[in-house]
Amino acid sequence: RSTPPQPTSTPATKPTPPMAPPTPRRVVGADEKVTRPMDVITKAMTKAMTQALEVPHFGYKDEIDMSALVNLRQELKRSRDPLLQKLSFMPFMIKAASLALHDYPNLNASVDVENSTIIQNLSHNIAVAMDTPMGLIVPNIKKVQDLTLLEVAGELLRLQELASAGKLGSEDLKGGTFTLSNIGSIGGTYAIPVINPPQVAIGAIGKIQVLPRFNAQGEVIPAHIMCISWSADHRIVDGAAMARFSNKWKACLENPSLMTLYMK
């Protein structure tokens, strides 16, 4: 009588090892706490934001129809140039802020209360809030008024790469004159941004959402809507100036082709 063939290979599925017993959860007391020292970024944020509390903030919000820019970006994504493919909304918003600051320079200033003077910054050094693995960092792009959109995009990329690697130098961090914070790249519609002293204005950008809006013919159409929340120092910036500045910024973003006419 022949013996049945013996299996030559190991079975495909290994027996699962017995599960490790769960680590018993430590029972914590109702008043128990853990104390840790602040890191450098949190210390700087605490100092700047405490200083900002002394500034009487004024808030102003509006919505921007980003449909034309969304279409333009889709066209650029089809380009062969990697820089054009990667061009995000931020360089447009930064350049539009510079064009608006040109008309409303009081928003690119600081206040010297002791000497009752307003110091107007002649250069548009636009700071951009960046969410990094280390926390919130706000480097700035110098002399945006003299840069093309692509140069702004290149600078933003350079700062983003340095910020993510924790390698931003003090030159890139100091000297900002106006801030934009694109919290909408993470989420949210509105915010109450806090001024970054000694600056006098900041804008928080909300998430672009497709929402129903009326066109010129009164028909309901899908539109790419983005909200902007501005905060300004009410000691030197009044509501009318903020609204006019915002209108100019909005006009640039809603008509990107018009915006190019004002660029150097």
Tell whether residue 92 is a contact of ligand CAO (CB under 6 A). no
Q: Which two tokens stand for residue 257?
A: 């082709």
Among 98, 121, 177, 182, binds ligand CAO (CB under 6 A): 182
Tell whether residue 207 is a contact of ligand CAO (CB under 6 A). yes
Listed residue (46, 145, 166) closest to 103, CA to CA: 145
What x/- string results for residues 45 through 84 when contact with ligand CAO is judged by CB under 6 A?
----------------------------------------
Q: What's the rounded Cα separation, in Å, for the pair 30 and 264? A: 62
The least CB distance from residue 149 to ligand CAO, in Å, is 12
Residue number, 96 or 130, with CB nearest to ligand CAO: 130
Torsion of CA 230, 233, 236, 241, to 10 degrees: 10
Q: What's the rounded Cα separation, in Å, for the pair 118 and 138? A: 23
What x/- string results for residues 147 through 166 when contact with ligand CAO is judged by CB under 6 A?
-------------x------
Amino acid at 3: T
Tell whether residue 131 is a contact of ligand CAO (CB under 6 A). yes
SS3 225: strand
**How many chain residues touch ligand CAO (CB under 6 A)?**
19
SS3 234: coil
Residue number, 27 or 186, with CB nearest to ligand CAO: 186
Which residues are at the interface with ligand CAO (CB under 6 A)? 88-90, 128-131, 136, 160, 181-186, 205, 207-208, 226
